[in-house]
């Protein structure tokens, strides 16, 4: 039975993945690392520190340290969100569905809390969530299940009774490792990727999530 619903932020609540790519390309270019869009796809779902560590392991640089790059990326993303980010199509309808069912809802994301609050405040929905939680507070980020386990604990629910919405492979792995039911809504370029086959439900759009699909998952 589904007793709580947990949403990823980037790619589920907000249409921010293109903005992350834009910001990462700009900031990493400043240290001589010219990322392509395809390269940026390799770190979708990782938190910012893990993204920086990933690229340092691949192509080490000198000059700016991890903390400097982290703060540049987060501040640039905060400003970019205020200017450009949009609510993901279909999310409002799903949120309303869960509210009508009186289910507690939470956010579990790799983004830091400042960006969670920036995005949710922009659309006036911060108060709709019972819990907001960032994997940057955890010892390990996604695909480790820590952020999902902590979120379910704060909700007072067994993770097996939680439904998670994710767009990335790393995020979906984290939710499934926490033993949650997982709905994935991959980027169009990843929709046919067989790695997502472990999901309980895979959708091409949030608009495809219906009462019937909820009931199907709820009765599993």
Which residues form the catalytic set?
8, 10
Long-range CB pairs of 75-84 (<8 Å, 24+ gap) are: 76/23, 76/26, 76/27, 77/19, 77/20, 77/23, 77/115, 78/114, 78/115, 78/118, 80/19, 80/22, 80/23, 81/14, 81/16, 81/19, 81/115, 81/118, 81/119, 81/122, 82/118, 82/122, 84/19
Say how far apart CA 142 and CA 9 lie, in whole Å: 13
121 CB contacts (<8 Å, ≥6 apart)? none
32 CB contacts (<8 Å, ≥6 apart)? 61
Say how far apart CA 67 and CA 64 lie, in whole Å: 8
* Cβ(148)–Cβ(172) below 8 Å: no
């Amino acid at each position: 039975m589904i007793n709580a619903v947990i949403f990823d932020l980037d790619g589920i609540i907000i249409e921010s993945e293109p903005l992350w790519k834009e910001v990462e390309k700009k900031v990493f270019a400043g240290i001589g690392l010219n990322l392509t869009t395809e390269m940026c796809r390799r770190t979708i779902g990782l938190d910012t520190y893990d993204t920086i560590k990933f690229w340092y392991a691949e192509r080490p640089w000198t000059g700016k340290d991890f903390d400097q790059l982290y703060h540049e990326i987060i501040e640039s993303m905060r400003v970019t969100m205020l200017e450009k980010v949009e609510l993901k199509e279909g999310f409002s309808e799903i949120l309303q569905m869960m509210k009508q069912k009186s289910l507690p809802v939470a956010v579990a994301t790799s983004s830091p809390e400042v960006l969670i609050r920036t995005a949710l405040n922009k659309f006036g929905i911060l108060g709709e969530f019972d819990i907001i939680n960032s994997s940057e507070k955890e010892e390990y980020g996604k695909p480790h299940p820590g952020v999902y386990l902590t979120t379910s604990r704060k909700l007072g629910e067994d993770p097996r009774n939680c439904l998670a919405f994710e767009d990335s492979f790393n995020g979906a792995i984290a939710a499934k490792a926490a033993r949650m039911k997982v709905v994935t809504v991959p980027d169009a370029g990843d929709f046919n990727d067989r790695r997502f086959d472990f999901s309980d439900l895979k959708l091409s759009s949030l608009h495809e999530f219906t009462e019937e699909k909820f009931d199907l998952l709820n009765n599993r």
